[in-house]
Structure 1
Amino acid sequence: MPPTDVINNFAEFLEAIEKINNSKSEGLSFFYRGNNVSGYSLLKPSIFRDDKNEDVYKEPELIRDVLAYSPEEFKEEKTTFEILAKMQHFGMPTRLLDITSNPLVALYFACEKEEGKDGEVFVLSVRSSGIFAYYDAIVSLFSNIAMLPRQEKAELDIISLLSNPPFNRDKKDESSTKETQGFGESAIAKELLFLVNREHPGFSGFYDADNLGKEVHNAIFVRPKMNNKRIIAQAGAFLLYGSRSITVKSKNSEQNPLWSADYIIKKEAKPAILKTLKHLGIDMISLFPDIQTVISEVRKRNNLQTDALMEKE
């Protein structure tokens, strides 16, 4: 079971992070996620959080509607992953989970708002060879699961749950369960590979489609294109989910390159920690440098009482 430590001040958090970094094995990288309410949704991406488990089946319609109504906003996005990342940026639920390579950024998000509740910082570990770039074919594979119709997506969830592979994609696994044998000939695999081939021609020619049922049970780490001020400011990355049957907060081993540790940030410590982070240049404006956030924060800091900057005569 990964350690859960209680953090009572900024110095304790720095000490905990230093301890983890000093103990990490060679070739291992760390990412972090801060939640301002301890235990909230564990490490689920937003599209999987609805109580009725229906939102995930609406993904194709969500994507198509957004593209139809705002084509100019997405004219530079060439892949499904890039579209999902931009939708996430504007608040649409997706199968992406925001993470960061900067532990202080995660600490900020664990402390902001919800001052009356404990926050939490998760430490996620992965072998460096298991971190993918936004343009990699495997990223296209996972992203395009979002475009599958309801029935095929539901069947894929069942297959991946029955397969239940280890999380570590670097470890060779020659075994094949009967649930995934012949999966490459199924309608689900053919549809998914068709979608991926639009972005990566020839992908199905070198990929063992029978392993798709195992692969989608994973979540993968993705470094996005650094073309967004917010992603740059937050040292952002994503955890991209395949099947929703995955349980990230489950076990601690090098076969599971995800949850390594978590730290409970006591509610009483939040104000002082935020003050220290602000002295270090980490606050709402530095992490969200878009003009809308900047104006909102400047208005708040100057205690403006008006609801609008200008009134029509």
Structure 2
Amino acid sequence: MGVQILTPSTWPQLLETLQSGSWNPQLGRFRSPFVFRGQAHAAPLSTSLQRLSSDPRSIERHLIRAFRKYAPATTEARRSLWAWLTLGQHHGLPTRLLDWSYSPLVALHFATASEAHADHDGVVWMIDVAATTQGLPEQLRRVLAQEGGAVFTTEMLDVFSAGTSGDLPFDAEMSWLDRVEHEQGGPYLLFLEPPSLDQRIVQQSALFSMLSNPEVTLDDWLSSRADLARCVVVPRDLKAEVRDRLDGANITERTLFPDLGGLSQWLSRYYRDRPPQLDAPQGRTLDEDRNRHR
């Protein structure tokens, strides 16, 4: 895609790479313009909706309609389409949304937690949200400017949707995306902060990306905008050390999935035997490793 690929070989290099560009001279503080997405192995940046069907636009309406119909049996009804969409994404419904985090450490968790992919290089994707916002259609940029932010909320997107009451067909509520895309002359990418539905979203510093066209993959969109993103490789030989460092920093299933399921996942992984060759990173003892980074 032409996106810059970076491959740090040590934990300090990995942190430095993920935190590069975070100094904001206007604020005089470290505030990264990037958001992060961790993957246990190299895989396309496709949505769950795209992976479900070769015709995502057609099947999307059926999924949302059925989800709206049956979900109120176990949760309160939402008035906003966008609230429904984020709720569905959060609970595994295939949608046009893609998961991201404000935290590079949370992204590293998802790049290293899968034991099934321990023998594969992980990746952490970084996208510059501030720069992405500059490429949005003017009317969307105007709404963000009024709020003084770079990321939308469900309430902000309701401004563009005629069906905020939830009584209009799905296509009618989403029609403004296609209309603005036509005026823009091509698909655009925006970022959406979900409501604090539960502690998982809060603990994971979660947000979602959404392309105006559900048939376009983020890989394809970035192919002509390579300067907006970076791909940081987490070498498989470094994964075990990164995993231990994250456990020590309390970035675990227990904290990111604060329920009994998350607790059980963490305990199962934390106490599982590890192959002897992975005990000391790159053949060093722990004391040697500490001295090396003093």
TM-score, normalised relative to structure 1: 0.66
- For residues 265 and 34 of structure 2, what CA distance do their matches in structure 1 show? 33
Q: Could you say which residue in structure 1 is the equivalent of 2:281?
A: none
Residue 222 (structure 2) pairs with residue 249 (structure 1): yes
Aligned residue type for 1:293 = G
Q: How does 1:35-46 map to 2 (within 5 A)?
A: 35-38=39-42, 40-41=43-44, 43-46=45-48
Contact 1:121 / 1:263 at 8 angstroms: preserved in 2?
A: yes
Change in 2 beyond 3 A, CA 1:143/1:25: farther
Q: Could you say which residue in structure 1 is the equivalent of 2:123?
A: 120
Aligned residue type for 2:240 = P
Cα RMSD after superposing both structures = 3.6
CA deviation after TM superposition for structure 1 residue 131, in Å = 1.7
Change in 2 beyond 3 A, CA 1:61/1:24: farther
CA deviation after TM superposition for structure 1 residue 91, in Å = 1.4
- Secondary structure of the 2:20 match is helix
Change in 2 beyond 3 A, CA 1:25/1:96: farther
Residue 83 (structure 2) pairs with residue 86 (structure 1): no
CA deviation after TM superposition for structure 1 residue 53, in Å = 0.8
Q: Could you say which residue in structure 2 is the equivalent of 1:218?
A: 188
- Secondary structure of the 1:7 match is coil
Change in 2 beyond 3 A, CA 1:260/1:103: same
Change in 2 beyond 3 A, CA 1:227/1:65: closer
Change in 2 beyond 3 A, CA 1:111/1:7: farther
Q: Could you say which residue in structure 2 is the equivalent of 1:263?
A: 232
Deviations 1:152-172 (A, max 9, x none): xxxxxxxxxxxxxxxxxxxxx
Contact 1:32 / 1:102 at 8 angstroms: preserved in 2?
A: yes
Q: Could you say which residue in structure 2 is the equivalent of 1:135?
A: 155
Residue 34 (structure 2) pairs with residue 14 (structure 1): no
Change in 2 beyond 3 A, CA 1:272/1:140: farther
CA deviation after TM superposition for structure 1 residue 289, in Å = 1.0
- For residues 25 and 245 of structure 1, what CA distance do their matches in structure 2 show? 35
The count of corresponding residues between Structure 1 and Structure 2 is 243
- For residues 53 and 34 of structure 1, what CA distance do their matches in structure 2 show? 25
- Secondary structure of the 2:208 match is strand
- For residues 73 and 7 of structure 2, what CA distance do their matches in structure 1 show? 47
Q: How does 1:1-313 map to 2 (within 5 A)?
A: 1-22=2-23, 29-38=33-42, 40-41=43-44, 43-50=45-52, 53-113=54-114, 114-127=117-130, 129=144, 130-137=150-157, 141=161, 192=171, 194-195=172-173, 211-214=180-183, 217-243=187-213, 244-245=215-216, 247-252=220-225, 259-298=228-267
Unpaired stretches in structure 2, ≥5 consecutive residues: 134-143, 145-149, 273-294
- Secondary structure of the 1:99 match is strand
Aligned residue type for 1:29 = P
Q: Could you say which residue in structure 1 is the equivalent of 2:138?
A: none
Deviations 1:245-289 (A, max 9, x none): 352332447xx7xx4211111111111101100100101111111
Unpaired stretches in structure 1, ≥5 consecutive residues: 150-190, 198-203, 304-313
Contact 2:23 / 2:32 at 8 angstroms: preserved in 1?
A: no
CA deviation after TM superposition for structure 1 residue 28, in Å = 7.7
Aligned residue type for 1:10 = W
Change in 2 beyond 3 A, CA 1:7/1:141: farther
**Please, which moves more after superposition, 83-92 or 111-120?**
83-92
- Secondary structure of the 1:16 match is helix
CA deviation after TM superposition for structure 1 residue 293, in Å = 2.7
CA deviation after TM superposition for structure 1 residue 56, in Å = 4.1
